[in-house]
A and B are shown apart, each in its own frame.
Chain A
Amino acid sequence: MNLNFNKYLLAIFLTASFSAKAIPTPEAVEPQFDADDNPTYIIKYGKGDRLKEDGTPLNLIQIECQGKAVDFVTDEELDQCRGDDSLVEMKYGWMDFSTYKGWRAYHAECHVCHGPDAMGSTYAPSLMVSIQEGLSYDDFFTVIMNGRGEAEGAQKGNVMPAFGANTNVAPHVEDMYRYVKARADGKIRRGVRLPKLPKFKEVE
């Protein structure tokens, strides 16, 4: 299911920049595909971000504790990291534009049911976990387009609405997949607060 997503795609990379407050120039990159031809996210880590006044970079994308995203470490591991800074690594960088759009669409249209940061709610499952447990891009796409009610096997009282006719959602399914997959793979921390991206152009 390879939709024409080139249109939506412009990945922005940040290469190390040495002047403190320089605004990095975004670069277009080719989207990547996995072995099944599914879109994957692209995130590059680097240190030379835009800096805040106190010199710390603005966009901390992930914190790793003992080599694992903090989302996925045990309480015990977290305690060890709290005790020993050398076990902690901060990752800075940009999300590519598609992942960013997915983040934005998700938090506008889906988080009211699926919870912030794709973490799930009392109402609907964590999509991050769904992908970790093997939900494929095809199924992701199909559920969003067609919805899922009790008749299609949803839990009683649960309804996943159909978004096929929703022009604010349908064109961004790949973007959202990329965002949720990046969460599932521990590439983006939760509550990541994106600073305003530098002005960029979408390439047709």
Chain B
Amino acid sequence: MSILKKSIIASAALALPFAVSANSKLEKMMKDPSQWVQQSGDYAGHRYTNLDQINKSNVGSLKVAWTFSTGVLRGHEGGPLVIGDMMYVHTAIPNIVYALDLNDDQRIVWKYNPVKGGKFPGGETMDRVISVMCCDNVNRGVNYHPNGTIVLHAADTSVIALDAKTGKEKWITTNLHAGTGKYGVSASTGSGQPFIIKDTVGVGCSGAEFGVRCNWTSYDINSGKRLWRAYSMGPDKDMLVDPNKTTSMLKPIGKDSSLKTWPGDAWKIGGGSIWGFYGYDSKLNTLYYGTGNPSTWNPVVRPGDNKWSMTINARNPDNGMAKWLYQMTPYDEWDYDGVNEMILVDMKVKGKNRQALVHFDRNGFAYTMDRASGELLVAEKYDPAVNWATHVDMKTGRPQVQDRYSTAHQGEDVNTTNICPAALGSKDQQPAAYDRLSGLFMVPTNHVCMDYEPFKVDYVAGNAYVGATLSMYPAPGGTHLGNMIGWDADKGKIVWSNEEPFSVWSGAMATAGGITFYGTLEGYAKAVESKTGKELFKFKTPSGIIGNFMSYSHKGKQYVGILSGVGGWAGIGLAAGLTDPTAGLGAVGAYSALHNHTALGGVLTVFALP
């Protein structure tokens, strides 16, 4: 502990002088709308571009400017970056990165493939890594550091720093272990973006379905040296919390806040993965991320709140110490991972100016928090179908769970039916956008319910550790599986809602042109008016879209880019459709099966005005 602490302090102190300048340089680049320098566009996660050449009145005539095949079939999440005249495009496993020269007809300047001789840098075979990815071979994109580095978080958890100009490896560190080698048995994988703050890069981890105890780990961007690691659960020192200073619902969390909420040693295989989209506030010097489900999916074997799974974390990025924590779904019984993106907005909430954090959770509630203090301000359902809890008690912050939808209350070997939302949540990783013009949030959502039957399973290290069986179907009263909505985060109300036949699994982007882009699983790239949701443009791309929209300008012209390549959990769950064609032989959704509409294949499509 003491050694760890010393090295944290030492490296934080060393990093400081550079830190400030690197940070402000990156933030300055984020403000330049001709580039897209970070997966979310900026630290606040607005996914908003100030470019307005493409706008409400002309988006209808948008045309494809150019396309690029990634050469990889599986699901493509995340999106490309544009730094200066270069575009960086990543792929699903094997996690290839391409650098394309925008000045030279998108010529491939370099191509980097971390898999050599069938093995990832950490030494695991590609087969092993794929077999322990829970939900397809996705990767949520690379990020950029202004010292000229592109960072890739590969599927085997390797963090790889590449020279942005040449694609040469600067350093590689394998964060965790995906295999059964000399480090013991684990099945950790990497799918989340690497997150750049000052002169550090931080990564989360995936593997809650395999009994992994996940963590956030921060590395020095210049050397790849590990700076700190904060576990999602366990002893206070593992989690980097201060029992007296770290708060939750404005009160100190106290000693052993996590250990007390797990039976015995269950926290050691407690899950709490981190793989969504994160936020950073440089003025408050605070990093925001969410943790995922406790494992297993059978709640009966882990009575207690299972802290700090399902939690929004606010941490000091210099040393990892937690400032505040808020657990959205204590004692998860449905797999409602708390990993979704953190959107930082300064806005009026209930008449008061707030430094707010807005988070659309898998559990179907949209939370508005004070991001400085961790105070809970608003918690409302953003899909009326949500039924597992009636509401969130604003005093305690706890959801009021309905017994009939509680899989723990109903018990092991009981099929608890008609729970909304399904395990994939009212929204999964697909990030929302913030429209700075209307002040609305543009939220891609799922509209799916489920039956869930927990049962006893053995923990076999390195193997899936699930312990529940579930079936999913459209929410009652319809056959559509998704909605694109406009959300008012002050009032906690839906302003507009567009039905989509499938879950909307792509990240949205709002623009100064008054429009919002999003993609659909059948492959449509769509533009709607941000204020009203009115559809203004659609184009069918080569494959279903689970990637995120981005925009840049080159030689004075605005471009909008999107990766298609169906897959991810959505592709898995919905490929065969969820609409039971037999359901009373009633209105059978014409869209029941995704595979009637689209097939695999990673392709980047870039649009511009003619």
Contacts and interface: CB of A to CB of B under 8 A. Distances in A.
A158 to B, nearest CB: 8
A149 B414 contact: no
B585 A122 contact: no
Given A108-B468, A122-B567, A159 B131 contact: yes
Interface in A140-173: 147, 149-151, 156-163, 165-168
A193 B469 contact: no
B572 A112 contact: yes
A99 to B, nearest CB: 13
Interface string B466-487: 1111111100000000000000
A10 B477 CA distance: 37
Nearest to B566: A122
A159 B130 contact: yes
The 7 closest A-B pairs by CB, nearest first: A119-B576, A122-B571, A161-B131, A107-B469, A149-B127, A121-B572, A70-B582
Contacts of A161: 131-132
A65 B582 CA distance: 9
Contacts of B135: 112
Nearest to A113: B572
Contacts of A162: 131
Contact of B460 (A107, A119, A168): A168
B90 interface: no
B137 A65 contact: no
Contact of B575 (A109, A122, A167): A122
Interface in A155-204: 156-163, 165-168, 189-191, 193-196
Contacts of B134: 112
Looking at A104, A109, A168, A194, which has the most chain B CB atoms within 10 Å of its CB?
A: A168
Contacts of B575: 115, 119-123
Interface stretch (B72-80, B262-270, B399-407): B72-80
B93 A168 contact: no
B581 interface: yes
Given A78-B585, A168-B458, A157 B576 contact: no
A82 interface: yes
A122 B571 CA distance: 5
B74 A123 contact: yes
A166 B463 contact: yes
A189 B580 contact: yes
B588 A194 contact: no
Contact of B466 (A109, A117, A121): A109
A162 B464 CA distance: 11
Interface residues of A, number: 51
Contacts of A82: 585
A70 B585 contact: yes
A150 B127 contact: yes
A28 interface: no
A127 B578 CA distance: 17
A195 B414 CA distance: 8
A122 B136 contact: yes
B558 interface: no
Interface of B: 72-75, 92-93, 118, 125-127, 130-132, 134-137, 209, 413-415, 417, 451, 453, 455, 457-458, 460, 463-464, 466-473, 544, 566-567, 569, 571-573, 575-578, 580-582, 585, 588, 594-595, 600
Interface string A85-127: 0001000000000000001111111011101110111110010
A65 B451 CA distance: 26
A165 B225 CA distance: 36
Contacts of B571: 121-123
B460 A122 contact: no
15 contacts: A63-B585, A70-B582, A104-B453, A105-B469, A108-B457, A115-B572, A115-B573, A119-B576, A120-B595, A122-B594, A151-B127, A159-B130, A159-B131, A168-B460, A189-B582
B475 to A, nearest CB: 14
Contacts of A51: none
A147 B125 CA distance: 14
A82 B580 CA distance: 14
A45 to B, nearest CB: 15
A104 B469 contact: yes
A62 B583 CA distance: 10
A126 B118 CA distance: 27
Contacts of B469: 103-108
B131 A116 contact: no
Contact of A78 (B73, B75, B468, B581): B581
A63 B455 CA distance: 29
A122 B415 contact: no
Nearest to B456: A168
A46 to B, nearest CB: 19
Contacts of B451: 193
A71 to B, nearest CB: 7
Contact of B131 (A65, A115, A147, A151): A147
A158 B585 CA distance: 35
Contacts of B75: 122
A81 interface: yes
Looking at A88, A122, A167, which has the most chain B CB atoms within 10 Å of its CB?
A: A122
Contacts of A151: 127
A96 to B, nearest CB: 16
A108 B466 contact: yes
A71 B593 CA distance: 12
A81 B586 CA distance: 10
A178 to B, nearest CB: 16
A117 B594 CA distance: 15
B76 to A, nearest CB: 11
Contacts of A117: 471, 576
Contacts of A150: 118, 126-127
Contacts of A63: 582, 585
A194 B453 CA distance: 10
Nearest to A196: B414
Given A115-B572, A159-B131, A194-B415, A109 B464 contact: yes
B541 to A, nearest CB: 15
B545 to A, nearest CB: 13
Contacts of B137: 157
Nearest to B94: A157
Contact of B73 (A81, A157, A193): A157
B458 A70 contact: no
A103 B453 CA distance: 11
Contacts of A191: 471, 473, 578, 580, 582
Given A107-B469, A193-B471, 18 more contacts: A78-B581, A104-B453, A111-B572, A112-B135, A116-B576, A116-B578, A120-B576, A121-B576, A122-B575, A122-B594, A122-B595, A123-B575, A149-B131, A159-B127, A160-B131, A161-B131, A168-B458, A190-B582
B70 to A, nearest CB: 12
A157 B576 CA distance: 20
Contact of A168 (B72, B73, B457, B577): B457
B581 to A, nearest CB: 6
Nearest to B521: A122
A171 to B, nearest CB: 10
B266 to A, nearest CB: 17
Given A191-B473, A196-B415, A123 B136 contact: yes
A113 B93 CA distance: 16
Given A107-B471, A157-B93, A115 B130 contact: no
A69 B189 CA distance: 41
